[in-house]
Amino acid sequence: MLRIGITGGIGVGKTIVCRVFQVLGIPVYDADTRAKWVMQHDTALKQELQAAFGQETYTLEGQLNRAYLASVVFNNQERLEKLNALVHPHVGLDFERWAEANASAPYLIKEAALMFESGSWRQMDEIIVVTAPLDVRLKRLLKRDPHRTEADIKTIISKQLSEDEKIARAQHVVYNDDQQLIIPQVLALHDRFLSKSGIKSDIAR
């Protein structure tokens, strides 16, 4: 089955693009949301995280202590890489189970912010990068996350793979710059993926 990855930096609008694909009937795996679920429910991963970051990683009730974990990895690249190295393989297995459960779909989409950084792009047949100018991203994020400052957002962006590098490594780009319409871009990609899957599109133009 054709597997399509969708990635992009914070504030580019990956979720909106994925929603259009979902409206078209395509299953979308949200890796970031599932990672939170896996960290809470995967017993093996919980043990690995506690061994790496301390028993305080989970509360006495067994709930993930997000504030503590964030404080441990904040501004510590080595610990952040360790966290990702532990979590991503478990999310990858979760994705494989999900893909098997959705095997009847014409193609599948996996949305992940750290697709290139985690290596999960290797599970994909093609990659879509969603991109937007920095000023547009800042405006969106300041509205969405009023607790964050512009400096906070720029720090997060600076730690992510650059837009140019993401685009260079992808097969497709969706421009979510408030100038170009998203739906026509997604429809064109949808037709392409259906064709590669041997299915004729029935969407009227």
pLDDT digits (tens, 9 = 90+) for 157-187: 888 889 999 999 999 999 999 899 999 999 9
Shared domain for 83 and 140, answered yes or no, is no
CB-based contacts of 20: which residues, under 8 Å, 6+ apart? 182, 183, 186
Instruction: Using alpha carbons, select from 44, 139, 144 the residue that is nearest to residue 87.
Output: 44
11 annotated among ligand-binding-site residues: yes
Last residue of a domain, one of 104, 122, 141: 104
Does any domain span residue 204? no
Say whether 12 counts as a known binding-site residue. yes
Same domain, 17 and 113: yes
Number of domain units in the chain: 2
Confirm whether residue 14 is marked as ligand binding.
Answer: yes
Q: Is 16 annotated as a binding residue?
A: yes
pLDDT category, 203, cuts 50, 70, 90? low
Cα 139 from Cα 10, distance rounded (Å): 12
62 annotated to a ligand binding site = no
Mind listing the pLDDT tens digit for each residue in 12-51? 999 999 999 999 999 999 999 999 999 999 999 999 999 9
Question: Could you tell me if 99 and 111 lie in one domain?
Answer: no
d(CA 70, CA 80): 9
